[in-house]
């Protein structure tokens, strides 16, 4: 192994092969669910170095775990405990190669931090709409690797819909130059879309051409209280009808989720939710208008008037300024942190057709309450995309660690069986990683699994790219 490390030092420079010392930032996942041990962390500076590293690893039969910001939530970016895997960190590859204003696109390297790309687009008077709470740390390579969603999907789509082309290093250490930036290209199998969402198991993304958009003339945010989940889905339909392409955000939050924000972040002012008889659900809506603020406000007012008339909104506030809008978004983005403050919990990132969500929630809430008395449900998420973070917290007096140890399997079983019964997905946006390999095995159809194994075998026959992520190592395992 020391011979391999020597060759890798020769390729990327000795200071970029981290072998000793504290490597916890690379070896432990963001949620601290898994801690592995790497043979080394290798930090190439460009695509040719990535390709050379892969060739050396392939020759040595050493597996590679691609890593960006290590903010993934499915344990896909950290090594196993064997001490034999290389973590390939792309963070040094953070150049912006080109901004093509006429094509409304830019070509950026995989290690670019998402927030830096948003700021760059903004400086150019344009919009890069991918937005998620980890944007200060996650990289575009990781966003593509997981096909990240976030808060603007209802209008702009997942990362896949934002991508026009990729540059990828294959498992054999060859470079696929697919950065044409074309919006139409029906020339055979869609390799770009195959790579996106493959969580580092089919190739290493080294650069991408991403779409840019005109900046909206005005953005307005509203926060509404609702009598039930069915009203939230009804409001979503009205928002599509009244705002059209202006609807850029539609987030739902349950009362208990907001009560945790109030408890753990008392400095935040949460509209309506602190009241004694607080309504059970809340929605954060964003309207991005291409004309003017006045036009945006008029459309919002028409929407809310209709929603009040229909009885699907009980109360609503519309932000008066950008800073008020930020404060409202901050409430929504604080839920995961407030939940963590309350103690360890069991997370689910599920999607179900929006029309079926009210029935699903009624069913799953009742089931969990019956099977685990006192259990607390932290339900929130991107309802505009049919995506709920349907998380489960220990009963109030319970020890979260004991709860996790004793109830996690049962809770997951109840939730995922219900999701399957409602025709949904057990992973909407966080991917499969190493955490949910058994769930994919259980809930994906045998035909789909066999095609996935065939693709993996064809592109990475040695199985050196992120083994143990997404697929069990053999089809029957």
Ligand X SMILES: Cc1cc2nc3c(=O)[nH]c(=O)nc-3n(C[C@H](O)[C@H](O)[C@H](O)COP(=O)(O)OP(=O)(O)OC[C@H]3O[C@@H](n4cnc5c(N)ncnc54)[C@H](O)[C@@H]3O)c2cc1C
Interface size with ligand X, residues (CB under 6 A): 37
Out of 149, 178, 384, 467, the only residue in the binding site for ligand X (CB under 6 A) is 149
Residues 22, 25, 30, 34, Cα dihedral to 10°? -40
Provide the minimum distance between the beta carbon of 170 and ligand X in the complex, in angstroms, as a whole number.
12
For the chain, first and last CA: distance in Å?
28
Give the one residue of 47, 70, 287, 345 binding ligand X; rule: CB under 6 A. 70
**Whole-number minimum distance, CB 326 to ligand X, in Å?**
17
Residue from 7, 23, 30, 314 binding ligand X (CB under 6 A): 30
- For residues 62 and 86, give the distance between their C-alpha atoms in angstroms, rounded to a whole number: 7
446: part of which helix (H) or strand (E)? Answer: helix 446-459
2, 8, 59, 84, 90 from 14: Cα distances, Å? 13, 8, 20, 19, 16
Residue 179 near ligand X by CB under 6 A = no
Instruction: From residue 137, give the alpha-carbon distance in Å to each of 204, 308, 394, 410.
Output: 19, 40, 29, 33
Site for ligand X in 326-385 (CB under 6 A): 336
Give SS3 for 117: helix
**Sole binder of ligand X in the list 27, 36, 47, 66 (CB under 6 A):** 66
Residue 118 makes CB contacts below 8 A (sequence gap 6+) with: 128, 130, 131, 135
Of 240, 221, 382, 224, the residue nearest 286 (C-alpha):
221
List the one residue out of 468, 325, 336 whose CA is nearest residue 389: 336
Give, as ranges, the residues between 415 and 434 that touch ligand X (CB under 6 A).
429-430, 433
Exposed, middle or buried, 447 (CB in 10 Å: 0-12/13-18/19+)? exposed
CA distances from 380 to 140, 147, 274, 297 (A): 25, 20, 17, 26
218 vs 337 by CB, closer to ligand X = 337
Q: Which of 71, 170 has the CB closer to ligand X?
A: 71
Find the binder of ligand X among 47, 62, 71, 221 (CB under 6 A). 71
**Smallest separation (angstroms) from ligand X to the CB of 19:** 20
**73 scored as a contact of ligand X (CB under 6 A):** yes
Q: Does 412 bind ligand X (CB under 6 A)?
A: no
110 part of the interface to ligand X, by CB under 6 A: yes
Q: Which one of 205, 232, 270, 418 is in contact with ligand X (CB under 6 A)?
A: 205
Cβ proximity to ligand X: between 62 and 231 the closer is 62
Q: Least distance from C-beta 314 to ligand X, angstroms?
A: 27
Among 141, 181, 246, 424, binds ligand X (CB under 6 A): 141
The distance of closest approach from Cβ of residue 452 to ligand X in the complex, given in angstroms and rounded to an integer, is 15
Least distance (Å) between residue 76 CB and ligand X: 3
Give CA–CA dist 63/54, Å, rounded: 9
Q: Does position 49 bind ligand X by CB under 6 A?
A: no
Q: Which part of the chain contacts ligand X (CB under 6 A), choosing from 69-77, 277-285, 396-404, 436-444?
A: 69-77
Contact 118, 151 (CB under 8 A): no
Verify binding: residue 134, ligand X, rule CB under 6 A. Answer: yes
281's tokens: 């659900």
Stretch that binds ligand X, among 148-156, 215-223, 365-373, 443-451 (CB under 6 A): 148-156
Q: Which spans of this chain sit near ligand X (rule: CB under 6 A)?
A: 30, 65-73, 76-77, 90, 110, 132-134, 138-139, 141-143, 145-146, 148-150, 199-200, 204-205, 336, 429-430, 433, 466, 469
């Amino acid at each position: 192994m020391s011979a391999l490390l020597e060759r890798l030092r020769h390729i990327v420079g000795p200071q970029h092969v981290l072998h000793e010392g504290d490597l916890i930032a690379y070896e432990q996942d963001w949620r601290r669910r898994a801690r592995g041990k790497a043979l080394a962390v290798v930090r190439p500076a460009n695509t040719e170095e990535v390709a050379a590293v892969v060739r050396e690893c392939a020759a040595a039969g050493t597996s590679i775990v691609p890593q960006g910001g290590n903010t993934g939530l499915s344990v896909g970016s950290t090594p196993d405990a064997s001490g034999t895997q290389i973590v390939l960190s792309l963070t040094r590859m953070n150049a912006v190669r080109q901004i093509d204003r006429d094509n409304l696109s830019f070509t950026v390297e995989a290690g670019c931090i998402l927030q830096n790309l948003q700021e760059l687009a903004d400086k150019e008077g344009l919009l890069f709409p991918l937005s998620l709470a980890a944007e200060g740390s996650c990289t575009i390579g990781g966003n593509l690797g997981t096909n990240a969603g976030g808060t603007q999907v209802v209008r702009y789509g997942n990362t896949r819909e934002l991508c026009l082309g990729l540059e990828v290093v294959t498992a054999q250490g060859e470079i696929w130059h697919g950065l044409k930036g074309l919006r139409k290209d029906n020339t055979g199998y869609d390799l770009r879309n195959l790579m996106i969402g493959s969580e580092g198991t089919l190739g290493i993304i080294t650069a991408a051409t991403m779409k840019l958009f005109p900046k909206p003339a005005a953005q307005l945010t509203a926060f509404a209280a609702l009598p039930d989940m069915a009203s939230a889905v009804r409001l979503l339909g009205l928002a599509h009808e009244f705002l059209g392409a202006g609807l850029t955000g539609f987030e739902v939050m349950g009362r208990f989720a907001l009560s945790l924000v109030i408890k753990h972040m008392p400095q935040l002012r949460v509209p309506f939710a602190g009241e004694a008889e607080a309504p059970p659900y809340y929605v954060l809506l964003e309207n991005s208008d291409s004309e003017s603020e006045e036009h945006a406000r008029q459309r919002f007012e028409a929407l809310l008037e209709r929603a009040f008339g229909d009885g699907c909104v009980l109360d609503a506030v519309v932000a008066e300024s950008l800073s008020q809008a930020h404060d409202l978004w901050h409430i929504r983005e604080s839920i995961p942190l407030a939940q963590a403050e309350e103690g360890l919990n069991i997370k689910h990132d599920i999607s179900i057709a929006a029309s079926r969500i009210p029935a699903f929630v009624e069913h799953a809430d009742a089931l969990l309450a019956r099977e685990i008395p006192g259990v607390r449900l932290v339900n929130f998420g991107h309802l505009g995309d049919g995506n709920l973070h349907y998380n489960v917290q220990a009963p109030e007096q319970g020890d979260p660690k004991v709860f996790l140890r004793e109830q996690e399997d049962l809770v997951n079983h109840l939730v995922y069986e219900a999701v399957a019964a409602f025709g949904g997905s057990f992973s909407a946006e966080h991917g499969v990683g190493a955490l949910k390999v058994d769930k994919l095995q259980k809930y994906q159809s045998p035909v789909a699994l066999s095609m996935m194994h065939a693709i993996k075998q064809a592109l990475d026959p040695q199985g050196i790219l992120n083994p143990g992520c997404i697929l069990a190592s053999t089809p029957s395992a």
